[in-house]
Structure 1
């Protein structure tokens, strides 16, 4: 049994001039028990609407939502076995930390002794012991986020929903909280469904990711699958930095597909299926998988290029190299020593594009 299962879910909103807006379009999505599952996509892609439908704050126009096998269509939010952590935390400023965490239990008229016990357990989980009597204004952003998390955990939900809860934190604290949330999820074994537009955040925390755009799920997979084997140009472009090269299939031999780029550059791609000769394709390669070498280096699968731009990024350096009059490629190289930086703009180099690092994109399609 899945923790959450979406079957043919659509959501249509009425707009101005009687024109409807389709926010979510026929999505099927199973989410496993105990999984850290992220809904990832740009603003307006439908991910928050999907989360709100799971929580019960919005009802689907069509389709059905199941939580642990039970249909949720007639269940109001307060009768669903889920809880939500919001982006703005939604804490009561006039209540103490303990009272904020206890609020939901008080509304359910849980006995006072049990409330005290469960509040203490929840605050211990998020490492806020000793802060029970503080008010939200006396806490840092990270601590307020922990209070919101404790308030959600104290009700012992089967599924915990997160609507971009780390967006307001600074970069360093956000990265720390990503690791803490992942550790906490693993310890508790609760299903987490996490909405974010931050690719790095999704890759860091998730067991699986669903990439959405324009109300459709374009791809579902592990972080490695999504990054290494994107199924569409949108997914490849949205997840990290990617080079795109347009070309035409020339031949197949010994598991290698040869593609002619810009009518001048022949590249070899490891491919598990053959495409018809003459097919127009898009090749992709991640910047860290392309390698730079001096002209006198003897390496296979290398092509000549000219460095046009160099950006020092601390841990690595970003090079823009022109391969043909029409195409450039970005190469990122780790800075191990100072000698690694000894490449100047305008200098000719070799760029190694190995067959195993290149990918041929499939057609864009929604699941």
Structure 2
């Protein structure tokens, strides 16, 4: 496996107010493969932009080393690194045309004009800005300006392209369209993309792999499917998409599964390996779309009893909050498959719900990760 970027025991400490040190990155080890679309995902202040700036050379690690294609970067400045960066602020020269903005870096390097014209034309074609070469930034939309910034980065043919939340200033529809275009473009040019974002959907849409960060540490690295379906800790499960959390105790283990008592009221059977001791406290993670909801008359020996506490119509689906025990609720997302025919469940109605055993993820105590303020359950 060829690596584009490797961070080895990297840490970064800033001096804060009152001369107190702030540790932004804590002994990080990370490998990014050559030619992949890799996203650094996490909430504001988790350290993802600091990592990107250390790769780019705008910041130096306090400890550790950054390698790009096996070569230690040390204190090498940004303009001597085989990378280029696209920022959220496009930083285009307002007095230069589109073509002149894209050509600027090549001119500073002394590339012959004949080569510049050819490379600028190729870069503008790649970002679909043919015919706009002579316009100025003020004559472009936000999306077009972002494309110019991208072309300016691509034209220098870097080994690695870094993105610091570049789509944050765009409206929702344009941002979603640009996500798909960026992914297609990365596959076309084959350059390693390292992308910083706090938008979970954005990371899931574009990435080959994702690193989820919190408080300067990487909690999990994996494909979008692995991150969503198999979160390593509670923070990842809560930050990526929407999750339900049930806290329970193991009361029995048999036939490759657990029998879990939730809130002292509800018994659930959950497939799980390896063996856990009786009395072990665990967290069950359940995605809302993996729970089905049925009328009270529904006959299913494995269905659970619940009561509707909230109903919100979201267009593509309906979001239900169901009281499961005296202490815990479950959020359920049900797709609206039939136009004009909505679910008739009402507030206070008794219902049956079905949670497939293999859709519950078990997190043993100690793997919960940093607590968040967005939990959807009233935990004991």
Give the aligned length: 366
Partner of 2:132: 131
Q: Does 1:3 align with 2:4?
A: yes
Partner SS for 2:38: strand
Partner of 1:176: 177
Partner SS for 2:183: helix
Q: Could you tell me how far apart the structure 2 residues matched to 1:275 and 1:207 are? A: 33
Q: Could you tell me how far apart the structure 1 residues matched to 2:97 and 2:262 are? A: 64
Alignment counterpart, residue 344 of structure 1, candidates 343, 346, 354: 346
TM superposition shift of 1:365: 5.5
Partner of 1:61: 62
Extract unaligned runs of 5+ from structure 2. Answer: 371-380
Q: Is the 8 A contact 2:235 2:369 kept in 1?
A: no
Partner of 1:211: 212
Partner SS for 1:341: coil
TM superposition shift of 1:254: 1.3
TM superposition shift of 1:298: 2.0
Deviations 1:58-112 (A, max 9, x none): 0000001100001001311001000000001111111110011001001101111
Extract unaligned runs of 5+ from structure 1. Answer: none
Partner of 2:36: 35
Q: Could you tell me how far apart the structure 2 residues matched to 1:315 and 1:299 are? A: 27
Q: Could you tell me how far apart the structure 2 residues matched to 1:186 and 1:361 are? A: 35
Q: Could you tell me how far apart the structure 1 residues matched to 2:290 and 2:307 are? A: 18
Q: Could you tell me how far apart the structure 2 residues matched to 1:299 and 1:218 are? A: 38
Could you state the TM-score of these two structures normalised by the residue count of structure 2?
0.95
TM superposition shift of 1:364: 3.7
Partner of 1:107: 108
Alignment counterpart, residue 356 of structure 1, candidates 355, 358, 374: 358
Q: Could you tell me how far apart the structure 2 residues matched to 1:126 and 1:230 are? A: 35
Q: Could you tell me how far apart the structure 1 residues matched to 2:122 and 2:273 are? A: 52
Q: Could you tell me how far apart the structure 1 residues matched to 2:54 and 2:318 are? A: 43
Partner of 1:220: 221
Q: Could you tell me how far apart the structure 2 residues matched to 1:41 and 1:225 are? A: 16
Cα RMSD for the two superposed structures: 1.1
TM superposition shift of 1:301: 2.5
Deviations 1:145-180 (A, max 9, x none): 100000000000000000000001011000000000
Deviations 1:213-257 (A, max 9, x none): 000000000000000011111101100000011110111121221
Partner SS for 1:160: strand
Q: Is the 8 A contact 1:300 1:352 kept in 2?
A: no
Q: Is the 8 A contact 2:10 2:29 kept in 1?
A: yes
Q: Could you tell me how far apart the structure 2 residues matched to 1:301 and 1:187 are? A: 49
TM superposition shift of 1:121: 0.4
Partner of 1:303: 304
Counterpart mapping for 1:1-367 below 5 A = 1-337=2-338, 338-362=340-364, 363-364=367-368
Q: Is the 8 A contact 2:98 2:134 kept in 1?
A: yes
Q: Could you tell me how far apart the structure 2 residues matched to 1:300 and 1:96 are? A: 70
